[in-house]
Amino acid sequence: VTDDRLPRRAALLGSGVIGGGWAARLLLSGVDVALYDPAPGAAETARAALERARRSWSRLTLVPPPAPGTLTLVETVAEAVAGAELVQESAPEREPLKLELLAQACEAAPADAIIASSTSGLLPSRISSEMAHPERFLVAHPFNPVYLLPLVELCGGSATSPETIERAASLYRALGMHPLVVRHEIDGFIADRLLEAVWREALWLVHDGVATAEEIDDALRYGPGLRWSTMGTFLIYRLAGGTAGMRHFMAQFGPTLQLPWTKLTDVPELDDGLLDTIVAQSDAQAAGRSIEELARIRDDCLVAVLRGLRGQAWGAGNDVAATERRWQRTAPAGSPADGLARAGDSLAGPGDGLLHLHEVIVGPDWIDYNGHMTEFRYLEVLADTTDVFLPLIGAGADYAASGSSYYTVETHIRHLGQARAGDRLTVSTQLLHHDPKRLHLFHEIRRADDDSPVASGEHMLLHVEMAAGRAVPAGAEVLAALDRIAASQRQLPRPDGAGRAIGGARSAAGSQRSGAV
Ligand SMILES: NC(=O)c1ccc[n+]([C@@H]2O[C@H](COP(=O)([O-])OP(=O)(O)OC[C@H]3O[C@@H](n4cnc5c(N)ncnc54)[C@H](O)[C@@H]3O)[C@@H](O)[C@H]2O)c1
């Protein structure tokens, strides 16, 4: 984790698709946000985006986010920017509007505030031309949904100071983003230039009746789109050249650049006929699904891709891992008491005295041939819950790095119900017993929809000095944290099923071994 520091407070001018996304990312990271948007319902847009962000991040990582920032809706630009270290303008893409808004913001903002515009393509030198301090201005162009996609393109104008770009990059990194500095001020920056090229070709293909909206989208998502999430065009084409690499690729495909494969310089006229075709095809593709439904599908799929990339320590997955490390740092390791309080807030259960440590959605790949969650996933859910519990008592990764750790020595799982793909599972935890060397946990997995039990897991863990491979007493802070949990759960009855072993006559085991079943 680097020294990047979150902005002490943020101002958002505009709370539409992009402003709402910024609000969600900032609030989830723990930054207080003041929001100015003259349209009614602006705060609702931000809150809805925050809900989507929460849902997505709870699937991306088990590490609890920091305490959320507060959202304040204000009536004027001046109120919004008061005390802000980061001002993010995300108003409609109209140059005169941005000119005025940015000048106003600059007038009222603190002297050290960074003022950024989310513009997709307007030139920073132009939209900052009426600002009193254009040296503090830059374009910070994000991608929708802002709370999930890490890329933010930073582009200064002719007056922007290098220090502004550097400091902005640090603030956005602290928000879990991947700043890409666009070193030359150009229309459309880098990513939108590329996207625009694809978009123009797509419009021609519809215009010429070659392909429908759906066919074009399939051409992207079943092939190139999957690759693009892992490597960009250059690295992918290098691989396409085989072992002979880039030179071979260029030799093979260079000549095709002379062929009429693209119509990039030309744009089809967007007359009523073409517009009607596009709208009708797009409606057909959506098949009646609302924007909210489609956004959820998009977010869940992005989460799946980001999780995959994180597992490979590659690309955008590294930004997720960096966010996890940052959140971990604000969480329990060093101070178990703080950590418990925080986890208690963010994972607040129904006030039943249990710890509510983990939630997970049963993915389609967790299902076996009979349509239910397959057996080993139960242990995965239970073990993941223990992995949330251990940092809570100060026995997480940092503790293990100092040489000691808890090892699970015995597990007993009872299967009590079934889980199907898409079910949301919640896990609650009771500390049954602890002593200096042992930790006895009881997790219960329930289906969130109807609160019905799905499984219980009972686990005995031993505190081990790893180099010597022997059980030793845990550190005083860890034991104190366990004492606190035990005290808070003193009133809880012993859970049903605790201490159960598999029934059946002991001699049956002998006959099974001899193969006489
Ligand atoms: N939609 C995208 O995918 C995307 C991606 C990256 C960047 N952007 C850029 O972000 C900006 C916002 O785009 P959007 O898609 O969120 O648009 P949007 O229409 O969804 O939201 C714009 C918001 O600005 C508000 N607004 C209008 N006048 C205002 C004013 N004077 N002061 C403050 N707020 C005002 C509107 O009420 C609305 O809520 C644009 O510059 C756009 O180019 C959009």
Q: Does the structure show a pLDDT above 60 at 513? A: no
Q: Among 124-128, 283-287, 377-381, 429-433, whose mean pLDDT is lowest?
A: 283-287
Q: Among 75-84, 181-190, 237-246, 290-299, whose mean pLDDT is lowest?
A: 237-246
pLDDT of residue 505: 63
Q: Among 150-154, 183-187, 234-238, 437-441, whose mean pLDDT is lowest?
A: 234-238
| More confident position, 435 or 511 | 435
Q: Does the structure show a pLDDT above 50 at 516? A: no
Tens-digit pLDDT profile for residues 493-508 = 999 999 988 876 655 4
Residues of the chain with pLDDT > 90, as a percent, come to 68
Q: Kindly report the average pLDDT of the chain as a whole number.
A: 89
Q: Does the structure show a pLDDT above 70 at 1? A: no
Per DSSP bridges, beta strands 10-13 and 33-36 are: parallel
Tens-digit pLDDT profile for residues 281-331 = 999 988 999 888 999 899 999 999 998 898 888 999 999 989 988 887 775
Which residue, by CA, sits nearest to atom 12 of ligand 1?
90
Q: Is residue 91 lining ligand 1, measured as CB closer than 6 Å?
A: yes
Tens-digit pLDDT profile for residues 31-62 = 999 999 999 999 999 999 999 999 899 888 87
Average pLDDT rounded to a whole number, residues 263-273: 81
Q: Does the structure show a pLDDT above 60 at 337? A: no
pLDDT of residue 512: 46
Distance, in Å, from the CA atom of 174 to the CA atom of 31, rounded to the nearest integer, reads 11
Position 359: which residue type?
E
Q: Is residue 22 lining ligand 1, measured as CB closer than 6 Å?
A: no
Q: Is residue 459 lining ligand 1, measured as CB closer than 6 Å?
A: no
pLDDT of residue 169: 98
Per DSSP bridges, beta strands 452-465 and 470-471 are: antiparallel
pLDDT of residue 418: 92
For the chain, give the longest Cα–Cα distance.
Answer: 90
Average pLDDT rounded to a whole number, residues 396-411: 93
Structure tokens belonging to residue 26: 């900032």
Tens-digit pLDDT profile for residues 216-246 = 999 999 999 999 999 988 888 888 877 877 7
The answer to whether 13 and 42 are in contact (CB under 8 A) is no
Position 445: which residue type?
I
**DSSP track, 212-226:** -HHHHHHHHHTTHHH
Q: Does the structure show a pLDDT above 90 at 183? A: yes
For ligand 1, pick from 120, 128, 180, 196 the residue to mutate: most ligand atoms within 8 Å of CB. Answer: 120
Average pLDDT rounded to a whole number, residues 92-109: 97
Residues in the chain: 517
**Which of 107, 102, 101 lies closest to 82 in space, CA to CA?**
107
Q: Is residue 15 lining ligand 1, measured as CB closer than 6 Å?
A: yes
Average pLDDT rounded to a whole number, residues 332-343: 36
Ligand 1 centroid from CA 18, angstroms:
6
Ligand 1 centroid from CA 469, angstroms:
59
Structure tokens belonging to residue 281: 């095809």
Q: Is residue 134 lining ligand 1, measured as CB closer than 6 Å?
A: no
Tens-digit pLDDT profile for residues 155-176 = 999 999 999 999 999 999 999 9
Task: Calculate ∠ Cα 486-490-493, nearest 5°.
Answer: 120
Q: Among 1-10, 91-100, 206-215, 332-341, whose mean pLDDT is lowest?
A: 332-341
The answer to whether 263 and 204 are in contact (CB under 8 A) is yes
| More confident position, 105 or 196 | 105
Q: Does the structure show a pLDDT above 90 at 126? A: yes
pLDDT of residue 365: 74
For ligand 1, pick from 22, 37, 95, 100 the residue to mutate: most ligand atoms within 8 Å of CB. Answer: 37
pLDDT of residue 52: 94
pLDDT of residue 345: 39
Structure tokens belonging to residue 361: 């959605």
Q: Is residue 347 lining ligand 1, measured as CB closer than 6 Å?
A: no
pLDDT of residue 506: 58
Ligand 1 centroid from CA 16, angstroms:
5
What is the CB-side half-sphere exposure of residue 309 using CA atoms within 13 A? 24
Q: Is residue 101 lining ligand 1, measured as CB closer than 6 Å?
A: yes
Ligand 1 centroid from CA 325, angstroms:
32
Ligand 1 centroid from CA 88, angstroms:
11
**CA 9 centroid distance within chain:** 21
Q: Does the structure show a pLDDT above 90 at 436? A: yes
Distance, in Å, from the CA atom of 428 to the CA atom of 438, rounded to the nearest integer, reads 20
Q: Does the structure show a pLDDT above 90 at 434? A: yes
Using pLDDT thresholds of 50, 70 and 90, give the confidence band for residue 256: confident
| More confident position, 82 or 364 | 82
Q: Is residue 104 lining ligand 1, measured as CB closer than 6 Å?
A: no
pLDDT of residue 347: 39
pLDDT of residue 177: 97
